[in-house]
Amino acid sequence: MLSLSGFRIIQAAPNNNIRAVSSLSSSSWRIVLSRSGCFHRGGNNNTSTTETETASKVTTILKQHDTTTVSSLLFGLRNVNAVAATKVSCCFTSARFFSSSSSSSKTTSVTPNDGNQLYDQAMLLMEQADEYDKQSELDRSQRMYEAWQQSQEKTPKLQGVKVIKTLVKETQKQNSNRNDNDDRRREAMDLLHRAAYDFQHPQASVQLANSLLKQASSVNPKNNTNNNRQRELVVEAMDLFRTAGESGSRVGWYNLGHLLWTGFPPPGEEEKHDNDDNNDNNNNETIEEQIVPADLHEAMEAFTKAIDLGDTDAMYLVGVHRLTQGGKENYLSGTKLIERAADAGHGGALYYLALLHLNGEPHLGLEPCSLEEFVMRLDKAVEAGNVDARFVRGHSYYHGTEGYPQNYKKALEDFLQAADLGHADAAVSAGAMYHNGVGAPTDQTKAFELYQLGGELGSEEGWINVVDCWRQGFGVPQSEDTARYIEETMLKGRRKKSCC
């Protein structure tokens, strides 16, 4: 059996998703455990807990759902195609779009002023603008790093001069190119506006509303003038969501429910402006109240209308919410909604039910299922595309628990596929396996790439390992300067932000 002395094990705190690092190992290499905190804790001489302890941890997670944890199930305003989304996104601005193909495929011929055509043209322009911004940021980051690297070779007096010159040059270049990209976005918004208001195009209405909310989020509500502008944008977005819903768009109703659930700005949104204009006199009146107060009752009404149109995200969220309310009727109706979403192939619902059946639920008269049944249920969630289920299955293969035989190769495959789907912890875990040659031959270059991917996906552990790779020369040329640069730009900045 693999000794875990080469890893530092990270587990989730059960109630708040804050990961705590075990102090049992002195090594800087880490393998990440389930973010739900429901699986094993490991150390130098203790590779796993018992299955009973594991089940107890999962039960704790399921028993302690509250409105806060239910809020974490909100998938963000949806910006995917008309097929129900199964991938979870907790980012408020990560909205759900329709695909242009879903709207145009129903029409064999369009006129120049057809709403479908206007919508498709708008989406193409927005895609081009987004791709330009992404590439520009990559190019800028590369040039800034090269400038910083060169500055380290200069005398102390000249250190930083190259960086400043490059920054000025890049700013000037970006300003000249930004105008063209801004023109694309303005044209896209104009096309969406025409499609939404002239043709009552539901997809365009949803997309336009999402864009308006993004604009509202970027406004710093320091005074009444800005607050009034925010209010206008949010009210218009709500009207557009409602109009889309009344035209048969389940995404319109879902996004309206999402907005009413969180309110606007959503909790924590105003914090991003806390450090803005710190030196201002702030003579104007500061606006502290939400423009749109959270309204659970109205949110549930909107989600219910989405459910009536077959929206599985809404089924899953409302089902979990009812389970948190207690009472036999809520337990039964909530479970029924989750099962309905699962029957329609919703990955999150399938994953939830797998954990529910693993632990049992006395309020439902549900006894813990066999490990064989849990494996069957978790496999279905993986097949439905749920990234957390795939990560947990990889973890189970790694330890040989929860009914899965220990199989490092399969564990690595699951971690890699979950990483491809955007799971930060899976990327770090796969990197740790490559670093130690577990499940595959040792490959320090591949390990480094996975650590960096994990960091870019939001894992602090990923950046810590990237720093160690540069510092020790694993997979990259040894460079203390580069390690220090990453510490200063990626780790210190993240920690300072998290502490504020």
pLDDT tens sequence across 447-456: 999 999 999 9
Q: What's the rounded Cα separation, in Å, for the pair 440 and 129? A: 40
Mean per-residue pLDDT over the chain, rounded: 74
Query: 74-88, 150-164, 286-300: which range is least confident on average?
Result: 74-88
133 with 258, same domain?
Answer: yes
33 with 105, same domain?
Answer: no
- pLDDT of residue 143 exceeding 80, the answer is no
> Which of 294, 317, 332 finishes a domain?
294
> Which of 294, 315, 335 finishes a domain?
294
pLDDT tens sequence across 404-435: 999 999 999 999 999 999 999 999 999 999 99
Overall number of domains in the chain:
2
pLDDT for 272: 52
456 inside domain: yes
276 with 174, same domain?
Answer: yes
175 with 103, same domain?
Answer: yes
40 with 102, same domain?
Answer: no
Contacts of residue 391, defined as CB under 8 A and 6 or more positions apart, other chains included, come to: 34, 35, 414, 415, 418, 423, 425, 426, 429
94 with 196, same domain?
Answer: yes
Query: 7-16, 116-125, 198-207: which range is least confident on average?
Result: 7-16
Q: What's the rounded Cα separation, in Å, for the pair 26 and 340? A: 47
186 inside domain: yes
430 inside domain: yes
Strand order in the sheet with 30-32: 19-21, 8-12, 30-32
pLDDT for 153: 57
374 inside domain: no
440 inside domain: yes
45 with 94, same domain?
Answer: no
pLDDT tens sequence across 286-302: 445 788 899 999 999 99
CATH number of the domain encompassing residue 493: 1.25.40.10
124 with 30, same domain?
Answer: no
145 inside domain: yes
458 inside domain: yes
Q: Show the domain range for 155.
A: 88-294
Q: What percent of the chain has pLDDT over 70?
A: 64
128 with 30, same domain?
Answer: no
338 inside domain: no
Quick one: average pLDDT of 59-71? Answer: 39
35 with 143, same domain?
Answer: no
> Which of 255, 270, 294 finishes a domain?
294
32 with 104, same domain?
Answer: no
pLDDT for 206: 96
24 with 116, same domain?
Answer: no
The alpha carbon of 19 is separated from its chain's Cα centroid by a whole number of angstroms, namely: 16
